[in-house]
Amino acid sequence: MAKKKPKKHDPAELEKLKWETAREQGLEDKLKNGAEMSVREAGKIGGQMVKKLAQAGKRR
């Protein structure tokens, strides 16, 4: 049985999700100045994005 290929996400939608997640985490200002953001803070944003994408996939 052939495996389904994962759907590619629209880069514009991912960018929107990133900013939304940063806003929720209170890190929007730091995201604007990416050089000042710690790896931990960037990881928080990325981790929350993955959770949101997984939840959206389960709803489908």
pTM, two decimals, is 0.77
Render pLDDT for 30-42 as a digit per residue (tens, 0 to 9): 888 766 888 899 9
What residue spans define the domains of the chain? 11-59
Render pLDDT for 1-52 as a digit per residue (tens, 0 to 9): 677 777 788 899 999 999 999 999 999 988 887 668 888 999 999 999 999 9
What are the distances in angstroms from CA 11 to CA 2, 8, 18, 28? Answer: 27, 9, 10, 19
